[in-house]
Chains A and B, each alone.
Chain A
Amino acid sequence: MGLLQNTLPPRERLERSFTWGDAIVILFLAALVYGGARLAFNAPAVIEGPQISLEPSTLPWYTLLSVGRMLAAYLLSLVFTLIYGRMAAYNRRAESILMPLLDVLQSVPILSFLPVVLLGLSAILPQRTAAELASIVLIFTSQAWNMTFGWYQSLATLPKELREASAIFRLNTWLRFKRLELPFGMIGLIWNSIMSWAGGWFFLMAAEIFTVGSKDFRLPGLGAYLHEAANQSDFRSIAYGLTALVLTIVALDQFVWRPLLAWADRFKVEMVESGEPPTSWFYDLIHTSRLFLWVNSIFGNLTERFDRWMIRRAPMKADWEDGASNLDWRLVAFYGLIGIFILYGGYRAAEMLVAVPASQWGQIGVGVLATFLRVSVSLVIALLWTIPVGVAIGTNRRVAAVLQPIVQVTAAVPATAVFPIILLFFINMAGGLDIAAIFLMLMGTQWYLLFNVIAGASAIPQDLKYTSALLGLSRWERWRTLILPALFPYIITGSITASGGAWNASIVAEYVHFGGRTLFAAGIGSLISQATASGDYPLLLASTLSMILAVVLVNRLFWRRLYKTAEEKYRME
């Protein structure tokens, strides 16, 4: 059960409902969209993408390209995480801006930014480079936030005595990072990386083919291959593509993540031996091999030199900070520039919004409502099946042994990859896209819920189970008094992530090009996609901001409150 429990998303932070920080952040995003749209007007009028070949022999190459994009975005996320998390954790003034910003960024519909980024970039860069960069940026935005949150949290919870020991023993910034911060945050960082890769695949599939009006951006890769295969209803190619995808994901799991987890077990902070450490056959194989030892000894020598060079170059700053801080003029200038950008961009964005006709605002209102309904339906369906199944897996070893591997592989396949195939089935039904959209939302989000329910069910203390058996409670009584209350915090945590994901998926789900046809259902995601396709930037801005606002409000007013109740009343710790 070890692995599943650890796939839990990081806990949401508790906060007051709506702050000035949020307002600034939303203004900032509006300014950003405006800036991108401004650039986008200069993009070339017609863009033709490269031909995507469905030959199976191209698959290894396509897979490599896709993984390369993921890797580039991941490295970017990692660097961003380390720097941003550190700034937020160690500077109180920065924290008050950076954390609300991160919180809103998490709820931003990433896909709605893609056209702006893509068109903006293609105005200043060659088309292929722009498309590559845009896909990397898109994947980055799906990977970075949870990693950053996790890293920030681990820095903020560094044990006081270890911080003091580092200061007393004069570790400089580098040694402190290497010997204290990184080891302490390592396990969280790895788990968050695993989640980020899973999320990244979802968006990679969407980012490799993108059409804006007569501009067709496509990148050779697995996502484009699957999309093209579905478009031509070529089932054999679909099967090839899916196999390649699943193999890649399994290989990454076996050769990268599991060995890393087994290795990172040493960074557990508990001072007692852990019961069930993560294992990896691959790690066992390599870490005792002669080659590994040899590489290790060479690196040992190099790191020793590097460490001492860093210590000489940047010795610890041990002095107390001055109470009367002398403001750094560069910092002031930097904040000033950002302020001007926000004000100007916000102003121009507001001008754009004013230009949106009332009829479109009406559409937006209806769209938000429709998408909200779809998200709710998908969440209810997910709850209905994940609670019984999750409890069965979490409390019954035999069921777990059968279902767990199936669940893990299924959950690893990004919903966007199979979406075209699902469309094939639903497309000719009445309201087919409505059903398909809910289906996609469901596929993207139910796993968060399932994993949370499993974790919750397996955490129910044995003595409480015995007690309820001894009291002779009926099945319904047992669910009402023990199981549901015990699951409550886990269900809430899972639902928060799931509903956020579902909103995001609406952009892909509610508007599709398929087999030469364009289908759409009423919804805010659909409006965003339509605005993108027709290059209607005021509408794009208005609908994107509306969606952000809706998601943030639902989170703050509904989920946060439930979460607080769950934390205070139902947490069994």
Chain B
Amino acid sequence: MATNLTNTPLLKLRHVQQIYASGSKRFTAVQDVNLTIFEGEFVALLGPSGCGKSTLLRIITGLQKPSEGNVLYRDQPLHGVNPHATIVFQTFALFPWLTVFENVDLALKARNIPAEVRTPRAIDLIDRVGLDGFETAYPRELSGGMRQKVGFARAMAVEPELLCLDEPFSALDVLSAESLRGELMELWTSGSIPTKAILMVSHNIEEAVFMADRIVVMDKEPGRIIAEVKVELPHPRQRKSDEFQKVVDEVYGMLAGQTESEAVELGSAPGEQGHTRALPQIAISDLAGLLEYLAELPTDRQDIYRLPEELNVDPNHIFSLTEAAEILGFAYVEKGDIILTSLGETFAEASIQARKEIFATRIRRLPLFRWLTTLLSHSENRALDWDVIQTALELEFPKEEAEKQLDTLINWGRYAELLSYNDDRELVYLETPVSQSTPS
């Protein structure tokens, strides 16, 4: 809220890094983050999945210790879970065996507040979030929106100075999410809660622009802050207004990035100099669907931020699909728009077999894929164990990521009829080219 914004810093992150070691290799989940949150401020952390924003939230609340750097709360370094912060969780994190009242009451009880004080306060908060009459209901009897209201009541019951929201609306249906956002903004802007600052993790750009005073934009590989955007529109904000759309466009442009030169887009092969580009985890049928949709538009282009709504898919998924289309040369991104290339158009209109052929020629250009086929062609029987390949990939990626990457490689390779995989023997092998195969 611009009106009660002060210059008193509440929380400071100084050179915070989170590094995971796997064998001899180290992976940076969060790289050199410096961030200050002031009293009276509503900050949104925005970024694609895997950019470390949830990790950052856990570091800020003290649930997780950063590998390097420190967290200062009111200029005091944090040594553990921050007693002045609470979290509203994406998946609610309610205790399913406790009633609405007991869930809120437990948070107060844990702070050793006597029952005479606790009970009226819990009831008052349940009242304030509009769950009057549901005190004795169990979470499973409530809708998603109502469960999250319990989550808010519980978080606010302990009167935190710093209220952290971990994608609190993303598991709700559109209507519940919208009404809950409005109610939270009302509580916050009217100053009727003692909360000093709100930090929200989100991947929904409109939501962030609608609520936050400042948007911190993060990117992945490695997770880091790439930009900050101040939103100086007065509350309540009008989504349809031009000013609002301008900010949304600006942030979308930052997140979607620009298509770079091919060398940068493709990255290098594992073991070579330079950065190995991780392949996005997408289903090829979804990619084809996106390309078909774009091909049907008169201009072959669309605002990326309108895609989630138009296609009714999660924005994260749109970013992954866009990334895949870019890598494969089916589309490119410019000023927040995705534009179909002529190759992409051909793909969209091709038959099933022709699509496979186009796809095959494209993935042969990917350094990661070339690396795998070279590896296989030099092996006995042109085949390798899954584990062997995964171990090799673990030189570039963390363990879990390596597994996902190999999964994607095999999926794409199978679609293109370049690779085969035998699940029983966990063996990956090169498909024999048609010219060499003997007719059966």
Binding site for B on A (CB under 8 A): 159, 161-162, 164-165, 167-172, 175, 179-180, 183, 266-273, 304, 307-308, 311-312, 315-320, 569
Contacts and interface: CB of A to CB of B under 8 A. Distances in A.
B86 interface: yes
A311 B112 contact: yes
Contacts of B96: 267-271
Nearest to B154: A169
A319 B110 contact: no
A317 B114 CA distance: 21
A168 B81 contact: yes
22 contacts: A161-B90, A162-B93, A164-B93, A168-B61, A168-B63, A169-B106, A169-B158, A170-B111, A179-B95, A267-B96, A267-B97, A268-B96, A271-B96, A304-B115, A308-B112, A311-B110, A312-B112, A316-B110, A317-B80, A318-B62, A319-B79, A569-B424
B139 A271 contact: yes
A266 B62 CA distance: 32
Given A273-B140, A318-B81, A319-B79, A175 B97 contact: no
Nearest to A168: B87
A169 B112 CA distance: 12
B107 interface: yes
Given A165-B87, A168-B81, A266 B97 contact: yes
Contacts of A172: 110
Nearest to A321: B65
A266 B110 contact: no
Interface in B67-87: 79-81, 83, 85-87
A307 B93 CA distance: 22
Given A268-B96, A316-B110, A167 B140 contact: no
A270 B96 CA distance: 8
A154 to B, nearest CB: 13
B83 A170 contact: yes
Contacts of B138: 266
A303 to B, nearest CB: 11
Contacts of B86: 168-169
B270 to A, nearest CB: 27
A179 B139 contact: no
B98 interface: yes
B128 interface: no
Contacts of A272: 140
Contacts of B62: 318, 320
Interface in B224-268: none
B89 interface: yes
Interface of B: 58, 61-63, 65, 79-81, 83, 85-87, 89-98, 106-107, 109-112, 114-115, 138-140, 154, 158, 424
A159 B89 CA distance: 13
B63 A308 contact: no
A276 to B, nearest CB: 16
A481 B92 CA distance: 43
A324 to B, nearest CB: 13
Contacts of A167: 63, 81
B79 A320 contact: yes
Contacts of B154: 169
A175 B106 contact: yes
Contacts of A169: 86, 106-107, 110, 154, 158
Contacts of B90: 161
A304 B114 CA distance: 9
A288 to B, nearest CB: 16
A312 B109 CA distance: 11
Given A164-B63, A183-B95, A318-B83, A171 B110 contact: yes
Given A169-B154, A179-B98, A312-B112, A320 B107 contact: no
Contacts of B65: 320
B192 to A, nearest CB: 22
Nearest to A161: B93
Contacts of A273: 140
A317 B79 CA distance: 11
Contact of B89 (A164, A179, A180): A164
A171 B106 contact: yes
A320 B95 contact: no
A323 B397 CA distance: 25
Nearest to A264: B97
B166 to A, nearest CB: 9
Q: Which 6 A-B pairs have the closest CB atoms?
A: A318-B80, A319-B80, A161-B93, A165-B93, A318-B81, A320-B65
Nearest to A266: B97
A78 B339 CA distance: 65
A318 B110 CA distance: 13
A159 B98 CA distance: 16
Nearest to A323: B65
A315 B111 CA distance: 9
A276 B406 CA distance: 42
Most buried by B among A165, A167, A266, A569: A165
Given A180-B95, A267-B97, A569-B424, A170 B110 contact: yes
A350 to B, nearest CB: 38
Contacts of B58: 164
A437 B89 CA distance: 58
Most buried by A among B87, B92, B96: B96
Nearest to B114: A308
A164 B87 contact: yes
A317 B80 CA distance: 9
A34 to B, nearest CB: 42
Given A183-B95, A266-B97, A168 B85 contact: yes
B89 A165 contact: yes
Given A164-B87, A311-B112, A319-B80, A271 B95 contact: no
A432 B180 CA distance: 76
A207 to B, nearest CB: 38
Nearest to A169: B107
Contacts of B81: 167-168, 170, 316, 318
A569 B111 CA distance: 49
A165 B91 CA distance: 11
A271 B109 CA distance: 24
A307 B114 CA distance: 11
Contacts of B158: 169
A180 B106 CA distance: 11
Nearest to A312: B112
Most buried by A among B89, B110, B115: B110
A569 B423 CA distance: 9
Nearest to A300: B115
A311 B118 CA distance: 15
Contacts of A311: 109-110, 112
Given A267-B97, A316-B81, 6 more contacts: A161-B91, A164-B87, A170-B110, A180-B95, A311-B109, A320-B80
